[in-house]
Amino acid sequence: MFESGTEWLRAEGSATDVVLSSRVRLARNLAGLPFVSKAGRGDLRLVLEAARPAIERAALDKSEVWIDLHDASEIERALLLERHLISNQLAKGKPAPKSGATEWPRAVCFGLPGERASVMINEEDHIRLQCIRSGMALREAWRDADAIDDRLESHIDLAFSPRLGYLTACPTNVGTGVRFSVMLHLPGLRMSGEIERVRRAASDMSLAVRGFYGEGSEASGDFYQLSNQTTLGKSELLLLEELDGRIIPEVIEYERQARQSLLSKRRWQVEDTVHRAFGVLQHARLLRTEEAMKLLSVVRLGICLELLGHAALGDVQTLMLLIQPAHLQRTCGREMGQDERRRARADVVRERFAEH
Amino acid sequence: MFESGTEWLRAEGSATDVVLSSRVRLARNLAGLPFVSKAGRGDLRLVLEAARPAIERAALDKSEVWIDLHDASEIERALLLERHLISNQLAKGKPAPKSGATEWPRAVCFGLPGERASVMINEEDHIRLQCIRSGMALREAWRDADAIDDRLESHIDLAFSPRLGYLTACPTNVGTGVRFSVMLHLPGLRMSGEIERVRRAASDMSLAVRGFYGEGSEASGDFYQLSNQTTLGKSELLLLEELDGRIIPEVIEYERQARQSLLSKRRWQVEDTVHRAFGVLQHARLLRTEEAMKLLSVVRLGICLELLGHAALGDVQTLMLLIQPAHLQRTCGREMGQDERRRARADVVRERFAEH
């Protein structure tokens, strides 16, 4: 189903020491059909039927993969979730949008190679287009999304109000329906104790701070997703200018300063922490997902600070995906219980780091 | 002053999976002079003057080293303590045996090579002879001690009562004045939670359980020193028969069973713990003595269980000595503060384990 690589873990581009990936998401709904939360099963099927040919004609990339999630296996949906191609809600299929709807017709379509563009169908909105780029590249992601949106609109009729803009299920998305977000790696600010100050500042600027797996998830391994909250009354370019031109560069600068300050004030402790994390990853026989993410985060910091000559950023980021439960089971080719997964996780990590 | 090797860390002989070393200690006092606790400085000097030629004539080994501890530097005394050649009290020189004695005349003499036999002069008793052997070898250590004791007695007049036997400062030593002890490595019993039961059983049999550095020390890294408490009314051979013939073999068997039981019930956890410990030792940049001892203890277990093919028991036991503060400073050739020692300790460990 997937190729091995996924754009957001490619570790290439600008400011990759702090920015994992940049993402633009557009919320769109089809004209003349009720929003997902109000739709019956028949309506949702109509959305799927209308959206599929339009998306395929709009062309996400060289080729597309379409997956009907209501027919997909649990592990297939978990894989899509771990690859950040679908949301938790869409993966689980609950809470279902309308009472009585036992099977929720929903799908995802993503472009190959790289899964840079993807569309969730019948999530909170009929259509949620996501364009992602490695590193700090909000403008490039925006250009991708804007182009696909234009092509899509030429093939399908979208709900739009001349006064409000694009109509969306949640009022915070009304207007441009755009959400810009960046996945940041902020171990320096966490270690220096400044992360809460950054969280508060972000909140004051109406920015949302989320974890590695989006809404409601914890900041696994010091990864934080920063995004705008509301879209009404601000143009895409103004939002982009704020985030790309000012706010994100400032956060990147804070994080870099925090790292340099740690290095100059507590160099030995930082080196010790980094090397121990690498040592545990190279030797452990059992690893939980959470612990592995924390250790990988520390190793990632070590690589960025040039303390670990023998490990590559790309390997660390690939592992962040491969250690997740569904990917682990796909790699091993079988379903596994928790204990077995912990062993397999340690094996996968050890093999990857033994090569260097 | 020292050669690199010391008998009790040689890791050779019988039952080295559980027994680090076997030790026999004899308490003796010179006839006609007050016990150390009652002696003035002049008396203590007389003891030194009488003991030295007698010990040298008795010949501890191929050659002897005599060190006047009241003239020795603090680091020299710390080195002797870390090598288990002198007690904590003798190293520190306090509490001094008699009020007003600002300088406590005291010495140590040990045989080379291997430091297998040593004598502390003016510790609790005038003379404390210690003979040590690697592994389970109480009988051999006893033969060494008995032979030296005979030679010593032919050169000096010892305090002896036909009714009570050898007279000693502490009543528990009166009689044979002998203490047999073994240094045991009991990580299996600690991990299985049975160590307290063994402690209580030992106590019920009038055995003392002490830590790695003798009286009052903690069981650093799962090392426990087991020894008889009283010597009055029991012959040396009866004591030896009890310990060597029954009690110690039983403890060894308990520990081996605990290890096998851990392996069969929790093999993955044990392997994980062992390999993580080795990984941290191979990679850490800062190490405290206590943590290093704990990790070395786990690695020692891993070697005995054949889980770590690439590490040698001898290296682990050599490190147990080299990571101690005074040895570390001797290795580096300079005095170091605590932070610097933590770095040097990690370096010494890393270098040793990198060779394999």
Which residue range(s) make up the domain with B87?
1-14+23-175
In the numeric block, the tokens 């860390």 are attached to: B9
Averages of pLDDT over runs of 10 residues in chain B (356 residues) are 76 94 96 93 95 95 95 94 94 72 86 95 96 96 97 95 91 88 95 90 87 67 88 80 92 97 96 97 96 96 92 92 95 93 97 76
Q: What is the mean pLDDT of residues A111-137?
A: 96
| Pairing of the two strands B178-185 and B19-28 | antiparallel
> CA A99, CA A41: separation in Å to the nearest integer?
10
Q: What is the mean pLDDT of residues A327-348?
A: 95
CATH number reported for the structural domain that contains residue A61 in this entry: 3.30.590.10
Centroid of chain to Cα A3? 17
Chain A nearest-CA residue for B267: A285
> Both B42 and B170 in a single domain?
yes
> Both A167 and A41 in a single domain?
yes
pLDDT at A1: 61
Q: Are A267 and A320 in contact (CB under 8 A)?
A: no
Chosen from A286, A287, A347 to mutate, greatest number of chain B CBs within 10 A: A286
Quote the minimal CA–CA distance from A255 to chain B in Å: 24
3-class secondary-structure state, position A258: helix
- Which of B175, B194, B218 finishes a domain? B175
> Both A272 and A167 in a single domain?
no
pLDDT at B216: 59
Option in A269, A271, A279 nearest B279 (CB): A279
Quote the minimal CA–CA distance from B261 to chain A in Å: 19
Q: Report the 10 Å Cβ neighbour count for B293.
A: 22
Contacts of A286 in chain B (CB under 8 A): 268-269, 272
Contacts of B275 in chain A (CB under 8 A): 283-285
> Both B170 and B295 in a single domain?
no
Residue B269 within a domain = yes
Q: Do A278 and B276 touch (CB under 8 A)?
A: no
> Both A57 and A146 in a single domain?
yes
Quote the minimal CA–CA distance from A310 to chain B in Å: 13
> CA B347, CA B350: separation in Å to the nearest integer?
5
Contacts of B271 in chain A (CB under 8 A): 285
Residue B95 within a domain = yes
Q: Do B272 and A339 touch (CB under 8 A)?
A: no
Cβ-based interface (< 8 Å): residues of B facing A = 268-269, 271-272, 275-276, 278-280, 282-286, 339, 342-343, 346
Residue A197 within a domain = no
pLDDT at A174: 84
Quote the minimal CA–CA distance from A56 to chain B in Å: 49
- Which of A147, A175, A203 finishes a domain? A175
Q: Which long-range CB contacts under 8 A does B90-93 form with residues at least 24 apart?
A: B90/B120, B90/B122, B90/B123, B93/B69
ipTM over 0.90: no
Q: What is the pLDDT of residues A271-329, one digit of tens each?
A: 999 999 999 999 999 999 999 999 999 999 999 999 998 788 999 999 999 999 999 99
Chosen from A270, A276, A288, A338 to mutate, greatest number of chain B CBs within 10 A: A276
Q: Do B343 and A268 touch (CB under 8 A)?
A: yes
Quote the minimal CA–CA distance from A174 to chain B in Å: 52
Cβ-based interface (< 8 Å): residues of A facing B = 268-269, 271-272, 275-276, 278-280, 282-286, 339, 343, 346
pLDDT at A99: 46
- Which of B150, B175, B200 finishes a domain? B175
Check whether A135 has a pLDDT greater than 90: yes
Q: Do A286 and B269 touch (CB under 8 A)?
A: yes
Check whether A355 has a pLDDT greater than 60: no
Q: Do A284 and B271 touch (CB under 8 A)?
A: no
> Both A46 and A170 in a single domain?
yes
In the numeric block, the tokens 């990759």 are attached to: A16
Degrees, nearest 5: CA angle A61-A64-A69: 135
Mean pLDDT in chain A?
91
> Both B33 and B128 in a single domain?
yes
Residue A200 within a domain = no
Residue B55 within a domain = yes
> Both B160 and B261 in a single domain?
no
Residue A94 within a domain = yes
Q: What is the mean pLDDT of residues A128-143?
A: 96
Residue B285 within a domain = yes
Domains of chain B: total: 2
Residue B334 within a domain = yes
3-class secondary-structure state, position A28: strand
